[in-house]
């Protein structure tokens, strides 16, 4: 995920300017033009530099990082947004909601909802060099999850550098009841049915997340480890959508039912 080989590094003032533009877009709920319109060479490296600065700004406002999310881990999501690699970003405490929560469409800019498998770590993982087996051993709980993804980029006209800078298009996370991790359960085979107002609109299985959601945990540990960041015990790891994201509509109820993990739902308030 090093981006475009040989692409120029962002100057510090450019990083600051982009981070502040996203910071204001989040506060005002007004989208901005893609950075890659003016700077088509913005790659993953530059995107993560902006992401780190934006995260610092939000933490200074009182946000707290309680885990990490992987995005664009399924072929369906990569095809949907025209990118060819996964990304990651922080999960903030303020964005996590309980099962059955009610959200307002106007809390976001252009929200979509997706279902995914979420893990909670029982022990830390420090990359690089973390294996899938080590990642599996570190998982303490598994949770059925819904993620509301949102973009501060106009009309979701994102390239990889844009969505990385925008905290991997994070919005909110809705979590079901935690289940103790089972060493005998192959999470690649966990099936999921996604319904809107009771009607099946998508389905998937764990293997749709980079072939194995546990491998996503190892990937995150290794990518973050390259920057000296350790995944800590107790942190949430969101492993990515198992299907193409669905627009969040006022008045609708969205439910994901997982084998072994149970179900999780969110309701959208009427306008």
- Per mean pLDDT, which of 67-71, 85-89, 256-260 is the most reliable? 256-260
Average pLDDT over residues 229-256: 96
Please report the pLDDT score of residue 10 as a whole number. 80
Helix (H, G, I), strand (E, B) or coil at 32: strand
Q: Which residues of 125-159 are buried (b: 16+ CB within 10 A; e: fewer)?
A: bbbeebeeebbbebbebbbbbbbbbbbbbbebebb
More confident site: 134 or 10: 134
CB 228 within 8 A of CB 248: no
- Please calculate the CA angle 251-73-241 and round it to the nearest 5 degrees: 20
CATH code that applies to domain 12-268: 3.90.850.10
- Looking at residue 101, its pLDDT comes to 97
Sorted by where each begins, the domain ranges of the chain are: 12-268
pLDDT tier at 109 (50, 70, 90 boundaries)? very high
Contact (Cβ atoms closer than 8 angstroms) between residue 223 and residue 1? yes
The pTM (predicted TM-score) of the whole model is: 0.92
- In this prediction, residue 80 has a pLDDT band, given cuts at 50, 70 and 90, of low
pLDDT for 71 equals 82
Does the N-terminal peptide bond of residue 20 adopt cis geometry, omega within 30 degrees of 0? Answer: no
């Amino acid at each position: 995920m090093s981006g475009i080989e040989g692409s120029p590094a962002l100057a510090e003032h450019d990083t600051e300017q982009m981070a502040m533009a996203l910071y204001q877009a989040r506060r005002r709920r007004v989208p901005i033009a893609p950075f890659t319109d003016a700077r088509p060479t913005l790659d993953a490296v530059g995107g993560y530099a902006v992401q780190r600065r934006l995260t610092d700004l939000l933490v200074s406002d009182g946000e707290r990082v309680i885990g990490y999310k992987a995005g664009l881990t399924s072929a369906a999501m990569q095809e949907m947004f025209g990118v060819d690699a996964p990304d990651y970003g922080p999960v903030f405490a303020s964005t996590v909601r309980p099962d059955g929560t009610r959200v307002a469409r106007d809390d976001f800019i252009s929200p979509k909802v997706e279902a995914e498998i979420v893990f909670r770590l029982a022990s830390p993982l420090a990359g690089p060099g973390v294996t899938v087996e080590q990642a599996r051993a570190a998982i303490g709980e598994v949770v059925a999850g819904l993620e509301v993804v949102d973009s501060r980029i106009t009309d979701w006209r994102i390239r990889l550098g844009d969505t990385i800078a925008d905290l991997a298009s994070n919005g909110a996370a809705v979590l079901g009841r935690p289940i103790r991790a089972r060493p005998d359960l192959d999470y690649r085979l966990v099936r999921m049915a996604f319904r809107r107002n009771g009607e099946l609109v998508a389905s998937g299985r764990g293997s749709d997340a980079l072939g194995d959601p546990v491998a996503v945990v190892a990937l995150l540990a290794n990518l973050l480890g390259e920057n000296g960041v350790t995944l800590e015990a107790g942190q949430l790891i969101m492993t990515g959508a198992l299907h193409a994201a669905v627009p969040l509509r006022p008045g609708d109820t969205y439910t994901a039912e997982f084998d072994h993990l149970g179900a999780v739902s969110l309701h959208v308030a009427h306008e």
